[in-house]
Amino acid sequence: MVFDQANSQLGIAVRSDIDYGPSSSKVNVIVQIPILINQIQCLIITEYDLTGQERSSQVFSVDNVDSNDYYYLGEDYFAQEDSFYSIRFFTGKPSDDRSTCQEYGAVCTHKLQVNILKDPWIIGLQDFSECICLTVLYNITSKSTPL
């Protein structure tokens, strides 16, 4: 059932006949800062197209992290549909011209596909952490050669 306000009429319409307005193809971004590395002061987020070609990069000063270690990239940065994003975290501050981050790169993510169904797109540690499995070998002898 639909109501046509212009003509004050009730009717039945197929869903494709209903104009829900423009759909959003971009969302705000919130990223969780790696908590084990408490010196993260800068991050670079890089956007890639679907073929893996780099489109753009932007540098952010990590200066306002909330109590759950999340950083909001701001009102002027949006993740776009049909794009992938990777994030590199650095221990130093942004350069004066904000073209890069100083110091050491501490952590980087793999390419993440944007979720435009949620605004903001929240990127948590679980989205870019990798599990590794170590096997401890017993009764292994090593040979050492004197120098």
Q: One-letter amino acid identity for 64?
A: N
Q: Is the pLDDT of residue 145 over 80?
A: no
Domain boundaries, the chain: 27-128
- For residue 41, give the 3-state DSSP assignment: coil
Instruction: Give the pLDDT confidence of 125-140 residue by residue, as tens digits.
Output: 888 776 666 666 666 6
- For residue 127, give the 3-state DSSP assignment: helix
Q: Is the pLDDT of residue 144 over 60?
A: no
For 18-45, letters b (16+ CB in 10 Å) and e give: eeeeeeeeebbbbbbbbeeeeebbbbbb
Residue showing tokens 């390419």: 111
- For residue 19, give the 3-state DSSP assignment: coil
Q: How confident is residue 45, by pLDDT bands cut at 50, 70 and 90?
A: very high
| Residue 47: its H or E element | strand 42-48
Question: Considering the entire predicted model, what is its pTM?
Answer: 0.68
CA 91 to chain centroid, in Å, comes to 18
Structure tokens at 55: 């489109």
* 27-128 CATH choice from 2.60.40, 2.70.50, 1.20.5, 2.70.98: 2.60.40
